[in-house]
Structure 1
Amino acid sequence: MWHGEYRHPRLVEVYDAERLWGWEDDFFMRVLAERTAPRVLDMGCGTGRLAIAMAGIGHEVTAVDPARASLEAARRKFGAARVRWLEGSFETVPAEAFDAAFMTGHVAEHIVTDEEWSGALHRLRGALVTDGRLVFDSRDPAGRPWREWAPDRTRRHIVLADGSVVEAWSRITSTEKDVVSVVHHYRFDDGLELTSSAAHRFRDETQLRDSLRAAGFRVNEIYGGWGREPPGLGGDGELIVIAIAEPRMLP
């Protein structure tokens, strides 16, 4: 199943059990607090952990995801009523409606082609007011993060909310230029086995800067880790981008 962790109810449960609040969430909340941003877009919100936290401190949050199962899980969480949930993708987002847009959890990596990436950035620029901020994360290809996706390095046991245990592991199926395809395997206590496939596009700092500039953004900061380290210098192997929406050119 393509992106099964977001689309299959059993795998959504696994996703939620494994991905708890972490340093990256603290980072994004700090960034949000640095400038006034009453209206916030959470693009690719998944099961809503960050969106609910942002709404909980008073922001007007719109959370968008194409996966219905993820949104259903998000809506069941405490505090979810404060968030506006939308099933859809970049074309769903209203124009000039947000002061900040977040795209976290390495969502950027799943936008594989240059055409899709350019379209996504242009729609995000259209969704932001001038001087609004776009904040997103993507793994730095310089660190070759896919090396950690071998079965012997990814095999683990995940405890679900009901106490049952899921055995999980991953396997790379292809590596072509900047795109790495991977299959994630899950074996449940009741004997069910599910797989989830995905493709990751790893863009370097230059590619990110050039694509953002072409879409109408000015790069404000790029960090290599959640402690705001420079890229490639003892960070977390990330490229964490904060970009500013430039004024639109008149025709």
Structure 2
Amino acid sequence: MRDRLFTDASVAVLYDALCAGRQDFDFYLPLVMSAGSVLDVGCGTGELLCRARQAGHQGRLCGLDPADAMLEQAYAKTQAYAKTQAYGQARAYATGHAHAKAGSGQTAIEWVLGDLSAVSWEREFDLAVMTGNAFQEFVADDALRVALAAIRSALVDGGRFAFETRNPAARAWEEWTAEHAVEVLDATGAVVRVAHDVETPCDGDTVHFTTTFTSPDWDRPQASRSTVRFRGAVEVASFLAGAGLVVEEQYGGWLRQPLTDTSPDIITIARRR
């Protein structure tokens, strides 16, 4: 089973509902609004960049994601926003592949289908963000090194990279159980139950788990298998330094609480050296 949550359109459409009420956007949005050009790595459904544009960001916004189903959601949002009064007159948006720039003028949002191993931006962005714990998707050390090198290349001199990863000391995976299942509504209004099941034994370093989606209105359940890597603050800083990025700020919560051993997250802002 592949990670169907991101690649299957019928499941990807549930992503925003599953992430409703997320606190991280209150942290990231001011960073985006203060930067002239922004790259959102693993942008998913494009919610953060759409909020930025809706809030009046006039610079370059670019979302990169390897899952076409997620970018379809992003494109649908920009199309819908363009038809509202949020931007006054309707403005053009388009989906993009490779390095094609989407839309026209300062109001465009670029949606790029691909991953960091296939891009070659050079000093084009003031800020790069990676939200939704996407940092943990880089399971292999070499994959993370490639990703960080690409991010550094994409940043202007002194540009910043903001992201978060779950603190391994908080052992978040212990709550990824059927007892903590949630329910959301799909596009038809059907109730969908979403439950996680972590594979054992689990060493707390690399965690494999299956997400199962069930609904009384569906013929059968759907399942998505995922693997994520947990890295502590010292290890994260070491990888950043190896890529030419220096930690500038680090927090343990979305209200900028100090990072401690019990913090649920390791939230980092690094700068290109």
Assess same fold via TM > 0.5.
Answer: yes
The CA distance in 2 between the partners of 1:40 and 1:168, in whole Å, is 32
2:170·2:262 contact (CA, 8 Å) conserved in 1? Answer: no
Identity %: 31
Runs of 4+ residues deviating >6 angstroms: none
Q: CA deviation at 1:177?
A: 5.4
SS at match of 2:14: helix
Aligned to 1:19: 19
SS at match of 1:183: strand
The CA distance in 1 between the partners of 2:39 and 2:189, in whole Å, is 34
Aligned letter for 2:12? Answer: V
Is 1:41–2:67 an aligned residue pair?
A: no
Unaligned runs of 5+ in 2: 83-92, 94-107
1:17·1:161 contact (CA, 8 Å) conserved in 2? Answer: no
Is 1:163–2:189 an aligned residue pair?
A: yes
Aligned letter for 2:221? Answer: E
Farther-moved stretch of structure 1 (63-72 vs 185-194)? 185-194
1:141·1:203 contact (CA, 8 Å) conserved in 2? Answer: yes
1:137·1:241 contact (CA, 8 Å) conserved in 2? Answer: yes
* Match among 227, 243, 247 for residue 255 of structure 2: 227
The CA distance in 2 between the partners of 1:99 and 1:47, in whole Å, is 22
Aligned to 1:150: 177
Aligned to 2:243: 215
Aligned to 2:3: 3
Q: Deviations over 1:159-183 (max 9, x none)?
A: 2343210112110014245100000
Aligned to 1:172: 198
The CA distance in 1 between the partners of 2:240 and 2:81, in whole Å, is 33
Give runs of aligned pairs for residues 99-110 of structure 1, distance below 5 A. Answer: 99-110=126-137
The CA distance in 2 between the partners of 1:12 and 1:64, in whole Å, is 16
SS at match of 1:73: helix
The CA distance in 2 between the partners of 1:211 and 1:54, in whole Å, is 29
Is 1:139–2:141 an aligned residue pair?
A: no
* Match among 51, 54, 57 for residue 53 of structure 1: 51
**TM superposition score normalised by structure 1:** 0.91
The CA distance in 2 between the partners of 1:193 and 1:37, in whole Å, is 43
The CA distance in 1 between the partners of 2:189 and 2:177, in whole Å, is 27
* Match among 121, 142, 160 for residue 115 of structure 1: 142
CA RMSD of aligned residues (A): 1.6
Q: CA deviation at 1:87?
A: 0.2
Aligned to 1:249: none
**TM superposition score normalised by structure 2:** 0.84
